[in-house]
Structure 1
């Protein structure tokens, strides 16, 4: 069994890329776009204001960091739901 330190060392060199769908209340769309644009590691890639949905790409060096960003998206006032659609782990050493 690996120690916690060995496990953390094994994660070095990873890079996490995820795509999420953010559902939001339409009356808050401008505020939500502004807040997301200020979150490092989050980028809006598509918006459907009529449906109250947007696609956001989340990138971070660690899985924990990626989850933290997704939690920040969930906490934005006017956001109804955040759904993970895609998650990829790349090896930065390659």
Structure 2
């Protein structure tokens, strides 16, 4: 299994109901990491089976509507992680 990281933005009309939005996202399959109330955002991840790159892309696309369809969600964006080499590393 591989994890897809998500940043969920809650719409302005549902900021007071953040706990309900979090509960519905959990039911939709999101494992919640952080609830950033002052920003109106929720971070977390979904587990996805490993497979071909094309298969993973299609699975991620199928997962997005599930999270976006939750009442109160303005957007569900896949997060990416980037790494850079330390300053003393050789140029590649």
Long gaps (5+) in structure 2: 50-54, 82-92
Which structure has greater strand proportion?
1
Equivalent of residue 71 in structure 1, options 65, 68, 89: 65
Aligned partners of 1:33 and 1:67: how far apart in 2? 21
What TM-score results when the alignment is normalised by the length of structure 2? Answer: 0.65
SS at match of 1:83: strand
Superposition RMSD in Å: 1.9
SS at match of 2:74: strand
Aligned partners of 2:68 and 2:78: how far apart in 1? 11
> Could you tell me which residue of structure 1 aligns to residue 40 of structure 2?
52
Larger CA deviation: 49-58 vs 62-71:
62-71
> Could you tell me which residue of structure 1 aligns to residue 19 of structure 2?
30
What TM-score results when the alignment is normalised by the length of structure 1? Answer: 0.64
Aligned partners of 2:25 and 2:47: how far apart in 1? 13
Long gaps (5+) in structure 1: 1-14, 88-94
